[in-house]
Amino acid sequence: MKRIVFHQDVYTFHIDFAGHVSNIVYIQWMEIGRLKLLEAVDMRVDRIAEQDNILPTLVATEIQYKKPLFLGDRVRIEVWLSSLKNVSAVVEFRFFNQAEELTTTGRQTGLFINATDHKPHRISKEQRTAFANYLAAP
């Protein structure tokens, strides 16, 4: 199984009043990870909305904070799928600090919807096959 792996630096504007990375920043990093995953399977959001009439839409987000991240940290983020169904997928996230310590885990459930009527949309066999490279074995 492949994973999307990318890095983010922690800057002053990521820090909350408690002195560590704000919870909203993790949501932004998860968005970046989902977009990278969609690009990797040739489903760029701008293209699938216009050409395939599909809108990937979030229906749930979970985050578990294990260790804080601080100003100056370099974060490694891993992204993959733990579930892929006909109209939905579960995306997993792991965040590590520069010491390779797991700091945060996350999970988002996404639904593919039709851009016209906003009802669930079945992804094609070809799209399922492309996603399969990033799907964890059960």
Domain ranges of the chain: 4-132
pLDDT in tens, 46-71: 898 888 899 999 999 999 999 999 99
Instruction: Answer yes or no: CATH 3.10.129.10 is held by domain 4-132.
Output: yes
Cβ neighbours of 9 (radius 10 Å): 11
pTM greater than 0.85 (yes/no): yes
Distances in Å between the Cα of 21 and the Cα atoms of 15, 64, 104, 131 are 5, 14, 11, 31
Contact 136, 4 (CB under 8 A): no
Q: How many angstroms separate the CA atoms of 21 and 65, rounded?
A: 11
pLDDT in tens, 100-134: 999 999 999 999 999 999 999 999 999 999 999 99
Q: How many angstroms separate the CA atoms of 132 and 122, rounded?
A: 15
Q: Which residues of 113-133 are buried (b: 16+ CB within 10 A; e: fewer)?
A: beeeeeeebebeeebbebbee
Contact 73, 51 (CB under 8 A): no
